[in-house]
Chains A and B, each alone.
Chain A
Amino acid sequence: MSNSEQVPPPASPGDSPSAIAPGGAYRAPETQPPGKQGPYREVTISSIVFGIVVGALLNASITYSGLKIGFTVGGSAVAAVLGWGVLRGILRKGTIVENNIGQTIASSVNTSNSGVIFTVPVLFLLGLQSTWGWTDWVWLAAACAAGAILGVAFIIPTRKQMIELDRLRFPTGTAVATVLRSPGEGIQKSLVLVVGILVAMVVTFLVQVPQLNKVFGGLDWPTLSQLGIPILGDETIDLTIPMAAALGDFWRPELTFVWAIAPFALGAGFITGRPGLVVLAGGILAYWVITPIAFANDWVAFGTSAEAAAAVVRGAMNRPLGIGMLLGGALVGLLLALPAMRGAFSSSGSSSKSGRGREEMPMWVLAIAIPAAFAVLFFAARSTITDGSMGQAALIAGMGTAWMWFAGIVIAQCTGMTDWSPISGIALVTVLICMFLTDMQVIPAVMIGAAVCVAMTLCADMMQDLKTGHLVGAKPIRQQIVEMSVVWIGPAIALLVVYLIAQNNLTTVGVPFGDGTDVPAAQAVALQAVIESMRGGDAPIHLYGMGAAIGVVLSLSGLGGLGVLVGLSMYLPLMYLLPYGLGCLIQMFCIAVKGRGWTERWGLPFAAGLLVGEGMVGVVVAGVAFIFGGAA
């Protein structure tokens, strides 16, 4: 190639025939209608009010259902679909980027609930609320709000790393962007999206029938397991027996081949594609290599049955190792990214501004948010640590602030690569660290833990929203400002719901959550068990360390986030990894057979529909449980 070359204006088959004149040049200018007048609608009163109202409703219902069924669902996709109905359908003026702002606000108000319900109920379960005054609750709310704001602020540098440099897929963010863009994509593409949504809604509804039967008491709709198909459970397809029959002596009784009926996992795998196969490989390592070898060599308690082996090995070995890998892998990924981050910021001066002003949130916001959050955490810790010194409060506040950043990156990275966020695992490590710093005091540990969990859930949520924004052309600074302005609302709502449910249960049945109530709060009960075993001097810290060492080396490989991906797959149940891996393989198959263009054009909307449809049914069931939960 010569040192310089001349290139005429090109034409390509992708260009519109009407835009390109014969011979390859753009056709002669002619007057075009001016289009809609006025500034492009983005941050508007309508979108803000819509986002807050929808987010608050989602938050209350999902907080309740999360305590009841043990997991939460994201609200972005639902808000995006509702946004079209309200902003465009009813108000007749919504734009793509305005709807994006609406869903950004709604999801940021909603998302913090998982951070609250995984941690705060522990205070009730341990009976510690009886000693609390209203000021303690205020400090808890303030700590969570500080976590929420700091979680969003930490995204300022992280956005560059994950969206611009690593270009992570963020399956839900991509799916929401597909929803937002659908009115401009043409009827056929929108139809594919709608078909994906409908398929997922029907499948998810069938999976949710047992939950609905429970909520409505007397309701007795037939569940999937009652259809008489041997391999079909209520929420799973169990192919263990056919697999064992096919493989004969090569199959071992401690292996399982159970698939979750989870359209979102299939869709997320499809959107992720080939890089997601590492997750499947990690699952195979955990469940089909470590588990049978551990069982065959008696590394589990004597008398453990083959059927129970997978669960026992997961709890005792794979899960702690996976958490360690996540942390070690993320730490090295972060260190490796630092030079690139520095390069990104040194070169972002011009690209962060357009002729119409700044497009990126300036770094000084982070410089203000960090000491402010530290101060809130410091006073919250100071007010709750018994016999604690100023230094101890400063230490725990400093650690909490630093950990918010790191944990936020871990969660955002996991979400970006796979759509799964290991919040409960990181919450566990967070509380463990806080307890060590407070001489095993639960209240300050859970309080800081709650703030960190809220921060990291918002990190992940904000990254999904910013990915959506990137794909639809939103200005990051506008998303960041609105999110930072409303994000404190979420923890307040979630805390209020948790408090009201606990008080109601204490009044009526004498216990706040768990046995004897209709609100099991499964994640909090699990965290409580870990806290109590730690207080008794029993925590698998050495396994976390070994996992971290493996994660460090994996991430040094330079394959994006390898340590995090393998760690996440050892942490998650295999039944979700299988449909996810299948989604990855289907995408690869489509690319090989039909080409990348076809796969992106037709496969992506369908996969996005699977994510959105499952999320919509999940939210509806959560709302139904919230309204009619008393009937259960």
Chain B
Amino acid sequence: MKGSIGQLLLVVGTVVASLAAAAGEKPWIAQPLGSVALDDPATLLFQDVTSEVEQGAEPLVVAEAGAPVTGAAVEALRAAGAESVRVRRMPVKSELVATSDSEGRVLAEPLYADIASGAGVSREEATSRLKRAAELEAFAVDFEADSGVLPEGGVVFGTTDLDGVEQLSVTTESAPDGARVVGTAADLAAMGSSALVVGIPTMRSVARAGRFVDADLAARLTELGFADVSVNIPAAPWDVNAWGARWFFGGGLLVMVIGVMLMRSARVESALAAAQAAEAGDEASPRESLKVVVERVRAMNAAIAGLSREDLMTSCDALLGEQVFAFGEAKEQLRAELGGRVYAQVMTAFSTGERRLSRAWSAAADGYRDESVQSLAECIEPFETALEALGGKPSVSRTDSGAEYVVWSPGGREN
């Protein structure tokens, strides 16, 4: 019960803390309607503000996202019952700076150079050419879809090779070989389904958005004639006081800690109860499994001369798959019961025995009997060491007929 409550608390605390951490990344701040600055270019709306009045099927947009907060927007929000307005945490994410001052900043937009002249293309011109390219690309894609004609041998649409396409080169099946007609999208439409479409790039990329401007790049941009460039504004240093969900985060962590304490306490109690139950003989204990391992390894060694290759493999396999495996699976119970240091002593020795037993199997499978026999003999000592550390000291005796048996004495747990 205690363990289940602990697990539940751990889960709840993890969810709450994770959500609180994520909430710290929200890109807006809520400002009370009464105190928000109106028409301030530094206080921009995070999202559209709509009126309850509908315009067609959609509500009427009173103020668009990214615009300064207006009185109309505040009124619309009040009418909707809101008490605050969401404004952008970072009003703008980029700014224009002189190219000579751009070193150490990150480009907010891609920069292009004209292929023909080699000169840098201004933002407005680049935007215009890209828009035109996008239109032509869209047209060509539609054209291809309608006509079933592939732009074979031409530039593949949708790649950066299309930057700044401003015209189309068109050829028809009826034209003389190699003849091309330079035209517009309208010309292309008029030529029907026999046309092949080829885009002609007019710009090449100089630097992509997100590129860090080092001294070399800044010098190159200046050389290309860029007077200014658009760069990112670094995010303001993270402010814990602006993180509204910080108390939820702290609370979540606290709930997790309580859950952890309950779980650890429950685990120790459970391990001790399991140990007591095993001592009372109510259920099989790891100690019993290890005892059987030691006894059987000893027995196998005693009878080794009579064990065939298949016998060795089968016996090792059975031990590895049953008692050795079962003991290994009880690691959490053992760790809680014994404490870290004794657990380590037990498991280190046990694992060595386990590995040597596996080697005995492998060598038998490969037909190396001597190696298998020797590895099997070498299993005894580490398994006994593990058992001794676990709490039972074995000593070997013999019956009158010469058969070996093991006598156990108790051991103890780490205090």
Contact = CB atoms under 8 A, between A and B. Distances in A.
A binds B: yes
Interface of A: 1, 3-10, 12, 14-16, 18-19, 25-37, 39-41, 95-97, 126-127, 160, 163-167, 181, 183-184, 285, 289-290, 293-294, 297-303, 313, 316-318, 321, 336-337, 339-344, 346-348, 350-352, 354-356, 359, 469-475, 515-516, 529, 531-533, 535-538, 540-543, 546-547, 549-550, 553-554, 556-560, 566, 570, 597, 600-601
Contacts of A6: 397, 405-407
Interface residues of B, number: 121
A5 B291 CA distance: 11
Contact of B25 (A166, A316, A559, A560): A316
A14 B212 contact: no
Nearest to B106: A536
A558 to B, nearest CB: 5
B405 A9 contact: yes
A532 B348 contact: no
Contacts of B408: 4-5, 7
Contact of A566 (B14, B65, B319): B14
Contacts of A543: 21, 24-25
B80 to A, nearest CB: 16
Interface stretch (B125-133, B141-149, B357-365): B357-365
A35 B364 CA distance: 9
A126 to B, nearest CB: 8
Given A40-B363, A299-B25, 5 more contacts: A7-B406, A39-B371, A532-B211, A533-B210, A558-B264
Interface string B57-74: 000000001000000000
A159 to B, nearest CB: 10
Contacts of B415: none
Interface of B: 10, 13-15, 17-19, 21-28, 46-48, 65, 86, 104-106, 160, 205, 210-212, 216, 232, 234-235, 238, 249, 253, 256-257, 259-260, 263-264, 267, 279-281, 291-292, 295-296, 298-300, 302-311, 313-315, 317-319, 321-322, 325, 328, 331-332, 336, 340-345, 347-349, 351-352, 354-372, 374-375, 378, 381-382, 385, 389, 397, 403-410
A554 B7 CA distance: 11
A597 B348 contact: no
B22 A347 contact: no
A10 B296 contact: yes
Contact of A351 (B86, B305, B310, B382): B382
B24 A473 contact: no
B26 A299 contact: yes
Contact of B308 (A5, A32, A560): A32
Given A40-B368, A97-B359, A298-B46, A339 B340 contact: yes
A600 B21 contact: no
Contacts of B306: 19, 26-30, 32
B407 A4 contact: yes
Contact of B253 (A355, A356, A550): A550
Q: Which among A321, A342, A351 has the greatest number of chain B C-beta atoms within 10 A?
A: A351
A95 B403 contact: no
25 contacts: A8-B403, A9-B299, A12-B322, A16-B318, A18-B310, A19-B315, A26-B306, A33-B309, A35-B367, A126-B212, A160-B348, A181-B361, A289-B19, A290-B19, A343-B342, A343-B343, A346-B345, A347-B345, A354-B378, A470-B351, A473-B360, A473-B375, A535-B106, A557-B260, A557-B263
A303 B45 CA distance: 13
Q: 8 closest A-B pairs (Cβ-Cβ)?
A: A473-B359, A184-B365, A14-B318, A35-B369, A26-B303, A343-B344, A536-B106, A537-B234
A351 B18 contact: no
B263 A558 contact: yes
Nearest to A359: B352
A16 B331 CA distance: 28
A122 to B, nearest CB: 12
Contact of B369 (A33, A164, A356, A469): A33
A538 B362 contact: no
Nearest to A556: B260
A27 to B, nearest CB: 5
A546 B24 CA distance: 10
A27 B385 CA distance: 28
B362 A473 contact: yes
Given A298-B86, A347-B389, A472 B358 contact: yes
Given A7-B406, A18-B308, A351-B352, A343 B345 contact: yes
Nearest to B366: A95
A508 to B, nearest CB: 16
Contacts of A25: 403
Nearest to A597: B321
A345 B162 CA distance: 64
B284 to A, nearest CB: 13
Contacts of B307: 19, 26, 32
B15 A285 contact: yes
Given A313-B22, A557-B260, A516 B405 contact: no
Nearest to B234: A537
Contacts of B264: 557-558
Contact of A30 (B305, B361, B381): B305
A566 B216 CA distance: 43
A297 B15 contact: no
Contacts of B340: 336-337, 339-340, 343
Contacts of A341: 344
B104 to A, nearest CB: 8
A16 B267 contact: no
B92 to A, nearest CB: 14
